[in-house]
Amino acid sequence: MNVDTFLEQFGHLVDAPEGIKKLRELILNLAIRGKLVEQDPNDEPAKKLVERIKSEKRALIEQKVIKVSQSHTLRNTGIETHSIPEGWVWETLDEITSIGTGSTPSTGELKYYKNGKIPWQTSSATGEDFITKSDKFITDIALQECRLKIYPKGSLIVALYGQGKTRGQVGQLMFDSTINQACAGIAFFLASEPIRDFIRLVFKKKYAELRELAAGGAQPNLNGGLIRKTKVPIPPLNEQKRIVAKVDELMALCDALETQQQQRQTVHGQLTTASLHQLTTAETPRQLTKAWQRIDTQFNQLFTTKESIKQLRQTILQLAVQGKLVPQDPEDEPAENLLERIKSEKQDLIKRKVIKVSKSHTLRDSGIETHSIPKGWEWEILDEITNIGTGSTPSTGEPKYYKNGNIPWQTSSSTGEDFITKSEKFITDIALKECRLKVYPKGSLIVALYGQGKTRGQVAQLMFDSTINQACAGIAFFPASEPIRDFIRLVFKKKYDELRELAAGGAQPNLNGGIIRQTKIPIPPLNEQKRIVVKVAQLMALCDELELNLEMQKNNATNLSTAMTASLLNVE
């Protein structure tokens, strides 16, 4: 099968989800099933090759060059065999190689490591196909006292356990070395050395199967016994050479396809970013219209990835807070009048001691940049037009604060959705009185000040009255400010990354109530706010539809590639 024929038959896989990864897996699958290169009836059958290897191994055991293993007492690996061509044979790996493990000399014994010159590998060394250098060394004393052996150059090292994707990886030693107990070493001798390259391909193909064998326990480890009992398909030696050469050729093709794909993705990302940037930087209605028209003519080409749709969402929010998403109406009451009413009501509530006065005038500026806004809009500090506070966590060692509690209590994890519709945690009236807590009314916005992963900076709207903990800021509204809540929520969604950036850099990258209070908000006329909120909802629904279509396309491509691959391999 030449490159052109291969691409003609399997090129459709490239653009499927994880397509090139699947293409690599297919190449290895075809290789070990005898479907990658043609068989040659003149090749010496594998049976004769295996007989020579076994004969040499018996002689080496008799000469006490290698030890006899107890492989006949080990359980079968459980890895399924499959049909193979005439002239091939299945063989247990331990019958045709010499397999062992290693150990770790006591790290408390300097004599085992100081000035050591003997290479010593751990499972992390298998991260590359070829182990070309050693980062660790042991001494001759360690070699003699710690049940270690030197595996010769060319041996395959299999990771029995390790972090992440390590378990099941295989690397080829390019020098003599010892190994630790997290590795199995597969050494070859004169008659078996020619099959090493093919055996390495088999292990790369069986990577997922080996990992699956070790899964399920508290410590998902392989062991030397599983490696010894692994069954491998053995082709005639000449066919092995053709297979290895063809795999190398097709893997190089995959490398080239991957590079081309990455380049296309880079260009696509740059084009999408540039197109959306023209929208957000347009200074006149004419420029804005032209930018929209350019996007409209390329829409189906621009928004074809999750990342590009995410960019589109952010652009919609940015246009919303810049006043570029809907037309201004000169008949709308200016935001200045709205703000006067809100501030007047807040001052009245403070005088009547319904809410407390904050110390916002003593707080530093939030650091979030302002931008140009349309006529009739105003910039305002959030604390001037809302009532902002935080919460606390009642002592978990006090049952009286939690037992039979019926007052909802939120943590920053509650902000994962746009609306908080139910409470997982509750506190008691005693906790409310004794633990510096207040009830935030339905409709309040909750901002996550800190939390795991992407939590910090998230905002959600309470759909019921609730308390919060110290990892949250609560933004409560009163009658005059309640109509601006939906727009404020949009502003916070737009400022998500900016808020996270403000809190970055420290050992604990947290926001705080002061930063939220001092956040500057662009306030449009109330009627325009309503138009903006409706338009954003419409456009976000379009983004949802784009993502749904994208997911359906990916699922269809995945199902098609899986079906075609299974059909090719005769797998149900």
Separation between Cα atoms, residue 94 and residue 100, nearest integer Å:
10
The rounded mean pLDDT for the chain is 88
The confidence score (pLDDT) of residue 439 equals 96
Q: Does the pLDDT at position 562 exceed 80? A: no
The confidence score (pLDDT) of residue 146 equals 94
Whether 174 contacts 135, CB under 8 Å: no
The confidence score (pLDDT) of residue 287 equals 83
Separation between Cα atoms, residue 457 and residue 442, nearest integer Å:
20
Q: Biggest alpha carbon distance in the chain?
A: 102
For the residues 86-114, what does the mean pLDDT come to? 95
The confidence score (pLDDT) of residue 571 equals 45
For the residues 14-31, what does the mean pLDDT come to? 84
For the residues 473-484, what does the mean pLDDT come to? 96
Separation between Cα atoms, residue 164 and residue 253, nearest integer Å:
28
Q: Does the pLDDT at position 366 exceed 70? A: no
* CATH superfamily of this structure's domain 44-235: DNA methylase specificity domains (3.90.220.20)
Separation between Cα atoms, residue 434 and residue 437, nearest integer Å:
8
335-524 has the same fold as 44-235: yes
Q: Does the pLDDT at position 235 exceed 80? A: yes
CA separation (Å) from 381 to 336, 348, 387, 497? 13, 18, 12, 19
Q: How many Cβ atoms from other residues are within 10 Å of residue 407's Cβ? A: 17
Separation between Cα atoms, residue 311 and residue 475, nearest integer Å:
27
Phi and psi at residue 532, in whole multiples of 5°?
-65, -45
Q: Does the pLDDT at position 70 exceed 70? A: no
Tell me the per-residue pLDDT of 494-543, one tens digit each, with 9 for 90 and over: 999 888 887 765 556 688 999 999 999 999 999 999 999 999 999 999 99
**Kind of pairing, strands 98-101 and 183-187?**
antiparallel
Containing H/E element for 443? none
Two tokens, residue 289: 């219209």
Phi and psi at residue 225, in whole multiples of 5°?
-60, -45
The confidence score (pLDDT) of residue 550 equals 85
Separation between Cα atoms, residue 304 and residue 554, nearest integer Å:
11
Separation between Cα atoms, residue 257 and residue 11, nearest integer Å:
10
CATH number of 335-524: 3.90.220.20
Separation between Cα atoms, residue 171 and residue 128, nearest integer Å:
6
* 366 burial via Cβ count (<10 Å: 0-12, 13-18, 19+): buried
Separation between Cα atoms, residue 156 and residue 201, nearest integer Å:
11
* Least confident interval from 153-157, 358-362, 403-407: 358-362
**Kind of pairing, strands 472-476 and 231-234?**
unpaired
Tell me the per-residue pLDDT of 27-55, one tens digit each, with 9 for 90 and over: 999 999 999 999 999 999 999 999 999 99
Tell me the per-residue pLDDT of 220-231, one tens digit each, with 9 for 90 and over: 678 999 999 999
For residue 171, what are the β-bridge partners? 157
Separation between Cα atoms, residue 203 and residue 168, nearest integer Å:
8
Domain boundaries, the chain: 1-34+254-330+526-572, 44-235, 335-524
Q: With pLDDT > 90 as the criterion, what percentage of the chain qualifies?
A: 67
Tell me the per-residue pLDDT of 421-440, one tens digit each, with 9 for 90 and over: 999 999 999 999 999 899 99
Two tokens, residue 280: 């957000």
